[in-house]
Amino acid sequence: MNYRHAYHAGNFADVIKHAVLALVLDHLRKKETPFCVVDTHAGVGCYDLQGVEAEKTGEFAEGIARLLAGPPLPPSLDGYLMAVRKANPDWPRLRFYPGSPCIARALLRPHDRLALVELHPDDAQALKRAFAHDPQVGVHANDAYAALKALLPPKERRGLVLIDPPFEAKDEFQRIARGLAQALRRWPTGIYGIWYPIKAPESVAPFLGEIAALGFPCLTAELFRTPPDDPLRLNGSGFLLVNPPWKLDEALAGLLPVLADRLGATGTCGVRWLRQAA
């Protein structure tokens, strides 16, 4: 599977992923102490929905555009929607879609910090240009999993690591599991969020089981836009959280049905604990 960000910016999977990301950051903001966000597959930061890649697929029409059409959304989406508005100078005209770097940056407070990791040289340069004069943001042109060794634990000792690969490598699930195990040894109290695509649930079950076996509290939030009856189609989107904030499961359980309804999902959605805290 190739999930290069630019081609799928603002699609249903992005909406789910970034809504959950913003909700986690909302929880981190509830305490006064600073936090750090490490984004391991940062992309270019923001995407032009009239660009060649986005227009080629047009997937944002069934994602962010559909979410925004209709009555007001619940407060649990305020942080996410604020980041989308901030990325669009001509709001309410939707022209740009903020990737995870821009969403995280929009939700930082003055004493928080963001570390962006991107291996693709052109994308890394685009990030450096975008955040060149921002003292709260550091850009690292490096392999995601190698960078975690250098960046963890952060000096703040509180925060989130977002792992959102393009799933171009056939062994991506195995790479995530190895990288996460190493990261948890360096920073066992950090929150880790991993986005993953779902074609068939049985294809992701071994990965989820491997993460649960690491021994840390972890849960998944999954939404199927279509029933998983076609293993060649991207049917669903999942977000795995290790060391999730307190009561985040309840917030997610309330949020997913709202997203499913607005996105016109015909599949199921739900939150499931893989391993609860002792």
Positions annotated as catalytic residues are 164
Query: Distances in Å between the alpha carbon of 2 and those of 6, 16, 20, 124?
Result: 11, 18, 22, 19
The full DSSP string for 58-97 is: -GGGGTHHHHHSSSPPPGGGHHHHHHHHHT-TTTTS--EE
Q: Which residues pair with 46 in a beta bridge?
A: 98
Where does 64-220 have alpha helices with state H? 64-68, 78-86, 100-106, 121-130, 144-151, 172-186, 201-212
Are 96 and 49 within 8 A, CB to CB? yes
Helix axes 144-151, 172-186, angle to 10 degrees: 0
Encoded tokens for 121: 């040289």
Question: What is the token pair recorded at 80?
Answer: 């996410």
**Measured in Å, how far apart are the chain's first and last C-alpha atoms?**
36
Place of tokens 């603002």: 10
